[in-house]
Amino acid sequence: MKTNLPSLKLALICGGIGAEHIGSIESALWLLSHFRSDHRIGFFYQHPDGRLAESAELPALFESWAVHPYIKAWVDPIGAENCRAAFRRAVTWPGSAWTSLTGGDWDLVWPAFHGRGGEDGSFQGLCECLDLPYAGCGIAASVICVDKIKTKAILRVSGLPVLPEVTLEDWQLGSPDTIAQLAEQIAALADKDETDLDSIVRISPSLSDRILESEVRFGYPVFVKPASLGSSLGVVKAANRKALANALAQSLILDRRAMVEPQCNWPEYGIGLCGLDEPQVSLVVGYALNPDFFDYEAKFGAQAQDDAIPANLNPAQTRQLQELAVAAWHALGLEGCARVDCFWDNGQMAINEINTMPGFGAHSVYAQAFAKAGLPAAEFLDRIVAAGLERHRRRNSLIISFKDRL
């Protein structure tokens, strides 16, 4: 795959309608500062309501982002000024935002979205409909990996280790209004006394069945996760029946499916990958977990913890985790870039989750793990760009149109 790329015209888009909106902005600003200087970048932003920002809006938006406590796209004032200068150059595209994005003759579009509404195959599908090359994973891998339940199902049938789970879907409890009412009833129970199973049965037999299954299989504590929210959003640690019932009801207000997993006390590690058929693998990152669990605040807040790069593992242990990440890459059809998070302890392993567009930022473990392996940021990003261009070339070489079959 060619990586000595010429100067390219790249469209970078961030924001989106999903819950990880702020993380997407941070990633895009970091990317903007680290692309090769001879690439010509166009910066686009999608408001939370779905509108694309016009170019005149963007300078004021940048200044609001520059002081946002959760946006850490640079480490010092010099980095901020360099990003500001790159931003000014990147928002001078002519015409409307939609016309410029979809008809701007871009060599490649980089969707710096995280989670639903951009990392979930929706924007990837738009790019393919418009015949636009794009960075990151394709439609199928993006759709699968945003859903933790679907991801685990494919990894499991591929013979790769994952934690067991109990799942619950919204239709099993009723309409959204019914689920909201159930959540209120459960909260009221929790305020009274220790919840017995009969009380939950009266509220929802389906919910009580899943709680009993979880208790039999996992005991407590357990983790409740919405199926398709990332960055630990909506994840709740439940230490008893009341907390579990409430967490499941709340998860199904956030998502259409939820799952319960047992607590895993093994250390957690992250492995970055980039490329196409034979991905390059980063150093292994050892996550610094707080005493409870790696929630959104621990990842992105003011007191976000420093992770160990490389992790404190011997060469054989490192290789074992890297090989597991590559196996997941192939099992799920990943392309361009991804991060695989795993639990590991004394040879026992379980894949926790897959990120098809890992976060970028001043404290991004994904970028740092490649940088500390000797791959400079600009070259690292070029490899992801090259993968997107090669995938597009291969796709367009296939005989798939109606006229080709006449």
Q: Are residues 38 and 177 in the same domain?
A: no
The tokens for 15 are 């924001």
Question: What's the pLDDT score for residue 118?
Answer: 93
Q: Is the peptide bond before 221 cis (omega within 30 degrees of 0)?
A: yes
Domain assignment present for 211: yes
Question: What's the pLDDT score for residue 187?
Answer: 81
Q: What is the DSSP letter of 220?
A: S
Domain assignment present for 315: yes
| Residue pair 339/366 in contact by the 8 Å Cβ criterion | yes
Task: Determine the average pLDDT of the residues in 140-152.
Answer: 96
Task: Determine the average pLDDT of the residues in 78-104.
Answer: 94
The tokens for 30 are 């970091």
Least confident of 156-170, 252-266, 281-295, 308-322: 281-295
Q: Are residues 219 and 72 in the same domain?
A: no
Q: Are residues 210 and 246 in the same domain?
A: yes
Task: Determine the average pLDDT of the residues in 51-63.
Answer: 97
The tokens for 311 are 């992790």
Q: Are residues 248 and 380 in the same domain?
A: no
With 90 as the cut, is the pLDDT of residue 173 above it?
A: no
Residue that wins the pLDDT comparison between 18 and 166 = 166
Domain that holds residue 380: 148-162+265-395
If you average pLDDT over every residue of the chain, what do you get? 91
The tokens for 17 are 């309608």
Identity (one letter) of the amino acid at 340?
V
Q: Are residues 225 and 76 in the same domain?
A: no
Task: Determine the average pLDDT of the residues in 197-218.
Answer: 90
- Tell me which residue of 107, 148, 61 sits closest to 350, measured CA to CA: 148
Domain assignment present for 284: yes
Q: Are residues 306 and 386 in the same domain?
A: yes
Domain assignment present for 217: yes
Q: Are residues 257 and 270 in the same domain?
A: no
| Residue pair 8/39 in contact by the 8 Å Cβ criterion | yes
Least confident of 209-213, 303-307, 313-317, 351-355: 303-307
Q: How confident is the model at residue 183 (pLDDT cuts 50, 70, 90)?
A: confident
Cβ neighbourhood burial of 346 (10 Å; 0-12, 13-18, 19+): exposed
Question: What's the pLDDT score for residue 182?
Answer: 84
Q: Are residues 154 and 208 in the same domain?
A: no
Last residue of a domain, one of 200, 234, 262: 262
| Residue pair 92/44 in contact by the 8 Å Cβ criterion | no
Domain assignment present for 38: yes
Q: Are residues 195 and 250 in the same domain?
A: yes
Question: What's the pLDDT score for residue 201?
Answer: 85
Question: What's the pLDDT score for residue 193?
Answer: 46
Domain assignment present for 140: no
The tokens for 394 are 């291969």
φ, ψ dihedrals at 259, nearest 5°: -140, 155
Q: Percentage of the chain surpassing pLDDT 90?
A: 75
With 70 as the cut, is the pLDDT of residue 341 above it?
A: yes
Question: What's the pLDDT score for residue 295?
Answer: 53
pLDDT tens digits, 251-279? 998 899 999 999 999 999 999 999 999 99
CATH number of the domain encompassing residue 233? 3.30.1490.20
Residue that wins the pLDDT comparison between 231 and 236 = 236
Q: How confident is the model at residue 293 (pLDDT cuts 50, 70, 90)?
A: low
Task: Determine the average pLDDT of the residues in 324-332.
Answer: 98
Q: Sign (positive/negative) of CA torsion 241, 243, 244, 245?
A: positive
Cβ neighbourhood burial of 318 (10 Å; 0-12, 13-18, 19+): middle
Task: Determine the average pLDDT of the residues in 81-107.
Answer: 95
Residue that wins the pLDDT comparison between 294 and 122 = 122
Q: How far apart are CA 115 and CA 49, in angstroms?
A: 15
Q: Are residues 177 and 124 in the same domain?
A: no
Question: What's the pLDDT score for residue 368?
Answer: 94
Q: How far apart are CA 221 and CA 237, in angstroms?
A: 7
Question: What's the pLDDT score for residue 273?
Answer: 98
Task: Determine the average pLDDT of the residues in 19-38.
Answer: 95
Beta bridge partners of 236: 224
Residue that wins the pLDDT comparison between 242 and 282 = 282
CATH number of the domain encompassing residue 35? 3.40.50.20
Q: How confident is the model at residue 200 (pLDDT cuts 50, 70, 90)?
A: confident
Question: What's the pLDDT score for residue 309?
Answer: 94
Task: Determine the average pLDDT of the residues in 3-27.
Answer: 94
Residue with the two structure tokens 């989750």: 353
With a threshold of 0.75, does the pTM exceed it? yes
CATH number of the domain encompassing residue 154? 3.30.470.20
- CB atoms under 10 Å from CB of 354, counted, come to 27
Q: How far apart are CA 27 and CA 230, in angstroms?
A: 15
Task: Determine the average pLDDT of the residues in 63-74.
Answer: 92
Domain assignment present for 402: no
Q: Are residues 253 and 277 in the same domain?
A: no
- The total number of structural domains that make up the chain: 3
Last residue of a domain, one of 222, 245, 262: 262
The tokens for 385 are 């760009």
Domain assignment present for 254: yes
Q: Are residues 198 and 312 in the same domain?
A: no
Last residue of a domain, one of 231, 262, 293: 262
Identity (one letter) of the amino acid at 273?
L
Task: Determine the average pLDDT of the residues in 299-320.
Answer: 80
Question: What's the pLDDT score for residue 301?
Answer: 52
Question: What's the pLDDT score for residue 178?
Answer: 83
